Amino acid sequence: MGLTRVLVKDGGFGTQMTVHVGNSVDGDPLWSSRFNATNPSAIISTHLDFLQNGADIILTNTYQSSVEGYMEYLELDEEQSIELIRNTVRLAHIAKERYLSECYQAQLSVPEGYPLIIASIGPFGAHLHDGSEYTGSYADYVPAKEITDWHRVRIEACLEAGVDALAIETIPCQMEAEALVEMLCDDYPDVKFWVAFQCKDESTLAHGETFADAATAIWDLLAERNAQDKCLAVGVNCVHPKFVTPLFKSLNGERGADEQIPLVVYPNSGETYDVDNGWQGREHCVPLANYVPEWAQLGAKVIGGCCRTYARDIRHIGEAIRDWNKLKKLS
C-alpha cells in the first residue's frame, strides 16, 4: 500500500458529528466515543458525510475509546467495552458499504480497495482526561511497556474487526511513538500504520522534542527493522495549519524528491480554543485547501482535517488534491 497519489483523509469526526447530534460532544470525558454506544446511526452518517465529500480515507471513531473509559462512564464490563470498540469499526464498514452502493447506483467508479478504513489510535494521555495528550507529561513517569500494553487492547480490537491500517495519532512525545512502532514491528508485522505527532509550534512536539529529530528517529527505527514499507507516512495532526510548512521543511526541506520521508498532515482549522468561550476566530482562518500544493510539494501523501474541520472543508481539500495529482501526472 505504498502511496503513489496524494490521498484525502476525512475531517474532524467530533466536529462533523455535531451536524447530527448538536453540541453535546465537547466536555464529555468520552468525547464523541460515547455515541458509538448511544447513537450508532450518527456515527454512520458522519462517516458518510466525509465519503460523499471525497474522502479516500475514513478514520474509525476510536480516538477516545478505552476499556477504562467505557467501564467508568458507560458502566460496561471489560469484554463489553472491547466489543464496543470492535463494533465501532463495523460502523465504518457499514458506511463504506452504503457509500459504495450509492456509487454503484450512480455509476461512479471508485478505485479498487477504496475508501480505506483506518483505525484511530489516539495517545495514552487521551484517556486520562487531564489534557496530557497536549503536553505528553506522562512520558516522564509512565513506563513504555505500560503505555504499549494499554494501546494493545484497542489495537487488537480494531484489527479483529478489520481495518486497512492504524493511525497512531496526536502523539505528543517521541517515547510513545517509538514504543508503539517497536511493538507493531515485533508483534504485528503485517499491519500498516502512520504516525502523526502533536506539535506545539513550528518545530517542537508537545512534550518538547524536536519534530524533525523524532520523525527521523521513527524512520531510522523502521529502516533498521527493514520495515519502512509498513509505514504509510510520518507527520502531524491536531496542529495549527500555519505550523505545518515549517515543520515539514525542517524534516524534508533538504531532501531530494526521492529521499523525502512520506508525510501525513491533518491540522485543525486554525481557530483557537478558549476554555470560557470555546472555539474562536473562524473568520480569520486561511482555508486548508490553500495549503495543499506546498504540503504536497514537501512530501505530504495524506492530507485531511482535525478539530473544527467539516465535510465541506474536506471537499475543498479534495478538489485541491485532485488538481495537484493531475499536475504531477502531467509532469
Q: Which domains does the chain carry?
A: 7-330 (3.20.20.330)
Q: Which amino acid is at 148?
A: T
Whole-model pTM: value is 0.96
Cell of 153: 487492547
State the binding site for Zn(2+). 238, 306-307
pLDDT along the chain (331 residues), means of 10: 86 95 77 91 98 98 94 96 98 98 96 96 91 92 97 98 98 98 98 98 98 98 97 97 98 91 97 79 90 97 96 98 90 71
Residues in the chain: 331
Q: What is the pLDDT of residue 32?
A: 87
Q: What is the pLDDT of residue 23?
A: 74
Go through 102-119 and write b for each residue having 16 or more CB atoms within 10 A of its CB, e for each that does not. eeeeeeeeeeeebbbbbb
DSSP letters spanning 27-85: T-TTGGGHHHHH-HHHHHHHHHHHHHTT-SEEE-S-TT--HHHHHHHS---HHHHHHHH
Torsion sign across C-alpha atoms 101, 107, 108, 109: positive
Q: How do residues 222-241 score in pLDDT, each as one tens digit?
A: 999 999 999 999 999 999 99
Residue 188, classed as helix, strand or coil, is coil
E strand residue ranges, the chain = 7-8, 57-59, 116-121, 165-171, 193-197, 231-237, 263-266, 272-274, 278-280, 300-303
> How far apart (Å, rounded) are the C-alpha atoms in residues 117 and 10?
11
Q: What is the pLDDT of residue 1?
A: 60
Q: Where does residue 74 fall: left (phi above 0), alpha (psi -120 to 50 degrees), or beta otherwise?
A: alpha
Q: How do residues 144-186 score in pLDDT, each as one tens digit?
A: 999 999 999 999 999 999 999 999 999 999 999 999 999 999 9
Across the beta sheet with 57-59, what order do the strands follow? 7-8, 300-303, 263-266, 231-237, 193-197, 165-171, 116-121, 57-59
Q: What is the pLDDT of residue 186?
A: 97
Q: What is the pLDDT of residue 24?
A: 67
Rounded CA Rg of the chain: 18
239 close to 196: Cβ distance less than 8 angstroms? no
> How far apart (Å, rounded) are the C-alpha atoms in residues 269 and 191?
30
State the binding site. 238, 306-307
> How far apart (Å, rounded) are the C-alpha atoms in residues 125 and 132?
5
Q: What is the pLDDT of residue 11?
A: 98
The vertex-121 CA angle with 281 and 129, nearest 5°, equals: 60
Q: What is the pLDDT of residue 2?
A: 66
Residue the block writes with cell 471508485? 110
Percentage of the chain modeled with pLDDT above 90: 85
Strand pairing partners for 210? 204
> How far apart (Å, rounded) are the C-alpha atoms in residues 254 and 56?
29
Cell of 75: 458502566
Kind and range of the H or E run holding 215: helix 211-224
